[in-house]
Amino acid sequence: MTALPDWMRPPREEGWFAEDLDRLPEAPRHTELIDGALVFMMSPQRSWHGRLVTSLTTTLMAIAPDGHEVEREMTIRLDQRNRPEPDLLVTTAPYDPDRTWYAPDQVCLVIEVVSPESAHRDRTVKLHKYAAAGIAHYWCVEEEDGAPVVHVYELDGPTGTYAPAGIFRGSLERPVPFPISLDLDRLTPPRRT
């Protein structure tokens, strides 16, 4: 068995903290911190996933009102031991070219595009963590016969948990966090047989 490189050893007995991610230049590009443990995205990304994230990014950027920015693959510092990296987020923080993370109160929408490697984290772990951090809107995008299906959740203030707000196929119309109208079928090319 190969020894772990020094950079993979936690800097303290309690494990990793959110600020440690900014001091790990050797870490793989999409490294997240979940419950004080480093999580690496090691499986190859599928074309469907990449195309969908790119299409969602450009589409949301085109319709986002002033005061909203769309970011791709930026971490959110939920607390000292959690800094997940969603596929997309919408923030009310102004653009800062040196930013490496966002605080939950700066994020109004998080979007995770489910892949086989991330399915459990996207559907359960992150769903609960984003809600506990107070992020108002969460979309979990699944693939169904080559087309995106968006599971939309909205934060229920009294319980602090997400309530399902709809499952969208073909098109998505939402009034929050700003008016959004998407033709889901146009976000990825049709599957050729």
For the chain, domain boundaries? 6-40, 47-186
Q: Assign 134 a pLDDT band (cuts: 50, 70, 90).
A: very high
Residue 98 has pLDDT above 80, yes or no: yes
Q: So what's the pLDDT on residue 7?
A: 86
Q: What is the pLDDT of residue 112?
A: 98
Q: Output the average pLDDT for the chain.
A: 94
What is the spatial distance between Cα 35 and Cα 165, in angstroms, rounded to a whole number?
27
The stretches of the chain forming alpha helices (DSSP H) are 47-63, 119-120, 126-132
Question: Topology of 47-186 in CATH?
Answer: tt1808, chain A (3.90.1570)
Q: Please give the pLDDT value at position 28.
A: 85
Stretch (H or E) spanning 39 = strand 37-40
- Residue 93 reports pLDDT greater than 70: yes
Across 1-7, average pLDDT? 79
- 120 φ, ψ (degrees, to nearest 5): -60, -45
pLDDT-derived band at 193 (thresholds 50, 70, 90) equals: low
pLDDT of residue 88: 98
Residue 94 has pLDDT above 80, yes or no: yes
Pairing of strands 107-113, 137-144: parallel
Rg of the chain over CA atoms, in angstroms?
A: 17
Among positive and negative, which fits the CA dihedral 54, 38, 135, 92?
negative
What is the rounded average pLDDT of the residues 122-127? Answer: 97
**Predicted confidence (pLDDT) at residue 6 exceeds the cutoff of 80:** yes
